[in-house]
Structure formats: C-alpha cells, structure tokens
C-alpha cells in the first residue's frame, strides 16, 4: 500500500529499505485518487519509534493513505527533538477544523497517574469528544484505550499486582465481526502495562462487543457497534525488539521487572526474541482500514 508522509520523515527511509512503498507529497499530488486521511495522535515519548511501528503495520493493504501526526499543545515532549516535532507534527488546534477517515490514539507512559492528573488530560478529552463528529473510526491503543473507555463509558483503570509484561495468548470471541476476519482461534500479542480495565465491566457494557480476550491479560479487543470506537489493550504494533529494549531499560534503572513472558527462547534474554504476532497485527490494522474506514467513509470528507 502506498503511504504518503512528509518528505524527510526519518521513518520513510527505513520503510523503503524494508521494501514498503512510501511516497512523499510531490508524487502524491500527481495521483488522481482520494487517499484515506489518517491521523496519528502520538503520545509516546520517543515518537520516531512509534511512527515507524505504526507506519509499518498500516502498509499492508492496497489502500492509499495520507498520514498526519498530531501532538498535544498542552504538553512539552522531552524525548523527541523539537525540530522533529515542529517539522512533522501539528497541534490539535491546527487540525481541529479538518475531518479524518481514521484516528489512532497511541499509548502513553502515564498509566500509573490518575487520568485527571495527566497534564494534557483536558485537551485529550476535547479531542475524544471532537472525534464523534470529525473522525469516521478511532483506534485506541493501550493507555489510549483505557483513557477512551474512561472518557466515553466511565470505566476506571485498576493497578495490577505487577507489570503485565510479555507476549500473551488470546482467544477470538466473535469471529463473525470483520475486525477479526482471518484471525486464528488463538493468537499472541505483546502487552506492557501496570494497569487494566476490569474485563467484567467491559463485558457488562451493552455498547461494547468483546472480540478477543486472554486468560492472563484480560480483554484485548473490543469495539462499539459499527467500529466508531475501537479499543486495543495491548501493543500489536510492537516490533521484535520493543519488549527487549523496555526490559533492558528497566533493569538498568533498577526497576522491579521480570523477564517478559513467552518472549525469549528458553527465557534467555541473550537469545533473539521470537516474532510471533506480526501476521495478526497486520490483519488487525488491515481489517480496520478496510471495513471500518474505507468501506464506510464518504468520498468527500
């Protein structure tokens, strides 16, 4: 799938080396096609890593996508160079008059902080309200999913006894829904979080349909009718070494961290981790773009 990004975005060269078709603004201007307008609200600290991961999984359908990046106006990012943010990102105020076919709200390393104490929480609430009228389908990831469930349905997050960390098995619960079309009965997805939303609360909500769940990690995937809001509790976009890098980082900081489950062969962190979730991750994003964005979005936004 051709992905349109701004010229000079560092992820563009990496993706091209992986034989992924990425075009810049000049080439896109000469194509007679209405691309899907996808916005990524990137709340992660090292934004370049998340850009690369998400662009990689968005590249697996024949659809033409025009990607924009949004940053919070009410938060100063300390782990991404300011010149990168100024060149490739827009604030919500700069984008609020636009309409998007899809919006991705990423996770964020603030899960142990109460929602109302996150410095950009009021702005994020405004964005989530704005999505009701300006976005065809919103895709929430990890903390972004917890924030969405809290804002839209009042579901509180709860602290876990220890960090949920590793690659966990999930079972498809409702395979008639297109979002999980092509999934195996059981599949693996990475998780890395200290909090959760109670599965019983999600199941009890009449507005939500649970599509995949794990005995260890709880509900992984749920959505509203028609896919207007989709909530993903794990990190299907992670690449092979993301959990490894988090594990080494926490060890070096002296934080209490166990070896990620079902990740290293023989639980040996000197061995190459097995990549066992990529195909289902690609299916998930492709199904979202096809069935809940492309098939229902109007030609004229």
Helix axis angle, 47-57 to 278-287, nearest 10°: 80
Whether residue 30 lies in the annotated active site: no
Q: Which of 64, 134, 191, 235 is catalytic?
A: 235
Whether residue 140 lies in the annotated active site: no
- Note the Cα 14 to chain centre separation in Å: 20
Q: Rounded distance, CA 9 to CA 88, Å? A: 7
Q: Rounded distance, CA 160 to CA 114, Å? A: 14
Q: Which of 142, 152, 170, 222 is catalytic?
A: 142
Q: Which of 111, 213, 237, 280 is catalytic?
A: 237
Q: Rounded distance, CA 107 to CA 147, Å? A: 9
Contact indicator for 57, 281 with CB cutoff of 8 Å: yes
Burial profile 55-90: b = 16 or more Cβ within 10 angstroms, e = fewer: bbbbbbbebbbbbbbbbbeebebeebeeebbeebbb
Whether residue 237 lies in the annotated active site: yes
Contact indicator for 126, 92 with CB cutoff of 8 Å: yes
Residues serving a catalytic function are 142, 235, 237
């Amino acid at each position: 799938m051709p992905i349109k990004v701004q010229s000079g975005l560092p992820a563009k060269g990496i993706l091209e080396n992986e034989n992924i078709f990425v075009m810049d603004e000049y080439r896109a201007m000469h194509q007679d096609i209405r691309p899907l307008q996808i916005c990524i609200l990137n709340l992660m600290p090292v934004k370049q890593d998340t850009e690369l991961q998400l662009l990689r999984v968005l590249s697996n359908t024949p659809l033409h996508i025009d990607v924009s990046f949004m940053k919070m106006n009410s938060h100063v990012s300390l782990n991404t160079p300011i010149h990168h943010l100024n060149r490739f990102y827009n604030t919500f105020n700069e984008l609020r008059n636009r309409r998007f076919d899809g919006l991705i709200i990423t996770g964020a390393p603030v899960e142990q902080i109460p929602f109302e104490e996150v410095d950009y929480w009021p702005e994020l609430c405004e964005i989530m309200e704005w999505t009701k009228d300006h976005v065809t389908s919103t895709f929430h990831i990890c903390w972004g999913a917890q924030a969405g469930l809290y804002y839209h349905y009042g579901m509180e997050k709860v602290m876990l006894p220890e960090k949920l960390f590793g690659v966990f098995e999930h079972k498809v619960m409702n395979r008639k829904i297109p979002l999980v079309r092509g999934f195996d009965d059981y599949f693996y997805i990475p998780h890395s979080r200290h909090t959760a939303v109670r599965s019983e609360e999600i199941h009890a909500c009449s507005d939500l349909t649970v599509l995949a769940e794990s005995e260890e990690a709880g509900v992984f995937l749920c959505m509203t009718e028609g896919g207007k809001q989709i909530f993903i509790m794990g990190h299907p976009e992670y690449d092979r070494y993301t959990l490894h890098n988090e594990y080494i980082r926490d060890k070096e900081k002296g934080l209490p961290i166990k070896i990620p489950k079902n990740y290293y062969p023989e639980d040996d962190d000197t061995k190459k981790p097995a990549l066992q979730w990529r195909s289902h991750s690609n299916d998930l994003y492709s199904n979202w773009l096809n069935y809940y964005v492309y098939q229902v979005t109007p030609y004229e936004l």
